[in-house]
């Protein structure tokens, strides 16, 4: 059964009937892939990371774009803790948490959370998405290229033993979609926490270009892929969720105006067990803001889910299975 036309679609139809000219597909396509630089660039230059991070890396992606990365090591916090608690002197990191910020922000978005997690024993990796912050690139691809950027970063940092090899991917908004898509291609990922993730490039693009007809939207989406050099079908968070072999924890506000709650419902339905969905009744988009302790607790929940999943996989087959 077809849904009735939304208010915005009715407005678009009315505008077309009123004699408005056809849309400029090139301009509409760029709305999907060219982020406003000011927000993330301003956040980057206004944040002084001196004394707050332990390592800076510029990692080269497959297409030559350099991705800017900060690392906060659990060892620094363990060393200071050992001065008062010698028993913790040899503490080993519990794992690595990769923090992926929302669209139009940069890695400083999660800096305070990163410091909190490092104090709890995690190695922390903060990444600027391509075309954001201090990273290179001109276009957003909604996970199609970003997931491979994350894997390249993890490859390099784990390879040089800068971080623990057990990885947890945590992201918000577009970062949540990237986290899920990355986890689907990297078996080192032990769990994913995604906050308000878009269901895919096609779905979120349709929301951005509400005023276009279906045919014009399809043309704009195709052109966006051509300009940025990616296949929009490769930025499908729902399909990636169905490929996960690690636990998924989804969080989404029921009042989300930017990425509708239904996106996470669709992702959750596609994912295999173990999985958990935590609707937030009184929250909209960017619900992680000022909730560092709460997000850290959700990562602890995810770690418990991951351990149970590992135990289940390692358990010998039952008599009924043999």
Q: For 162, which DSSP code?
A: S
Query: What pLDDT, in 10s, does the model give residues 220-246?
Result: 999 999 999 999 999 999 999 999 999
Angstrom distance (rounded) from CA 84 to CA 89 = 10
Pick the CATH number of 34-200+235-311 from 1.10.10.10, 3.30.70.1150, 3.40.50.1820, 3.60.20.10: 3.40.50.1820
Contacts of 31 (CB under 8 A, 6+ apart): 208, 209, 220
What pairing do the DSSP bridges indicate for beta strands 55-60 and 248-253? unpaired
48, two tokens: 């002084």
Sheet with strand 55-60: strands edge to edge: 55-60, 66-72, 123-127, 96-100, 167-172, 189-195, 248-253, 275-280
pTM given for the model: 0.88
> What pLDDT does 80 receive?
53
What lies within 8 Å, CB to CB, of 283 at 6+ separation is: 253, 254, 255, 256
The pLDDT of residue 16: 46
> Predicted confidence band at 6 (pLDDT cuts at 50, 70, 90)?
low
Confidence of residue 314 (pLDDT cuts 50, 70, 90): confident
The answer to whether 162 and 182 are in contact (CB under 8 A) is no
Exposure on the CB side of residue 158, measured as CA atoms within 13 A: 17
What pLDDT score was predicted for residue 170? 98
Q: Averaged over 177-196, what is the pLDDT?
A: 98
**Model confidence pLDDT, tens digit, residues 22-78:** 899 999 999 999 998 777 878 888 888 889 999 999 999 999 999 999 999 997 766
Q: Is the pLDDT of residue 92 over 70?
A: yes
Q: Tell which wins on pLDDT, 202 or 5.
A: 202
The tally of CA atoms less than 13 A away on the side-chain side of residue 23 is 23
CA dist., res. 52 & res. 229, Å (int): 36
Residue 251 pLDDT exceeds 60: yes
Does residue 88 register a pLDDT over 80? no
Note the pLDDT of residue 317. Answer: 67
Mean pLDDT in residue range 109-113: 97
CB 103 within 8 A of CB 128: no
**pLDDT value for 149:** 98
Is the peptide bond prior to 287 cis by the omega test (within 30 degrees of 0)? Answer: no
pLDDT value at residue 306:
97
For residue 316, is pLDDT > 80? Answer: no
Q: Mean pLDDT throughout 274-283? A: 96
């Amino acid at each position: 059964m077809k849904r009735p036309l939304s208010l915005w679609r009715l407005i678009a139809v009315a505008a077309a009937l009123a004699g408005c000219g056809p849309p400029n597909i090139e301009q509409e396509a760029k709305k999907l892939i060219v982020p406003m630089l000011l927000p993330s660039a301003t956040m980057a230059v206004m944040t002084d990371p001196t004394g707050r991070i332990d390592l800076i890396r510029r990692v080269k992606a497959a297409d030559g774009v350099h991705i800017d990365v900060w690392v906060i090591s659990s060892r620094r916090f363990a060393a200071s803790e050992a001065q008062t608690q010698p028993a913790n002197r040899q503490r080993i990191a519990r794992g690595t948490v990769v923090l992926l910020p929302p669209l139009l922000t940069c890695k400083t978005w999660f800096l305070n959370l990163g410091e909190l997690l490092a104090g709890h024993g995690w190695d922390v990796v903060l990444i600027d998405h391509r075309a954001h912050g201090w990273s290179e690139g001109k276009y957003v691809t909604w996970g199609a290229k970003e997931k491979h950027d994350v894997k390249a970063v993890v490859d390099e940092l784990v390879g040089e033993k800068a971080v623990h090899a057990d990885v947890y991917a945590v992201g918000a908004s577009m970062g949540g979609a990237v986290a899920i898509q990355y986890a689907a291609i990297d078996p080192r990922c032990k769990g994913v926490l995604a906050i308000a993730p878009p269901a895919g490039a096609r779905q979120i693009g349709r929301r951005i270009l509400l005023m276009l007809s279906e045919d014009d939207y399809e043309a704009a989406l195709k052109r966006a892929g051509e300009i940025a050099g990616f296949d929009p079908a490769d930025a499908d968070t729902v399909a990636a969720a169905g490929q996960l072999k690690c636990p998924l924890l989804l969080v989404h506000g029921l009042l989300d105006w930017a990425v509708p709650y239904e996106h996470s419902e669709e992702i959750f339905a596609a994912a295999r067990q173990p999985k958990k969905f935590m609707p937030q009744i009184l929250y909209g988009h960017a619900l992680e803001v000022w909730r560092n302790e709460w997000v850290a607790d959700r990562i602890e929940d995810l770690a418990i889910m991951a351990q149970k999943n590992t135990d289940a996989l390692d358990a010998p087959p039952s008599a009924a299975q043999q």
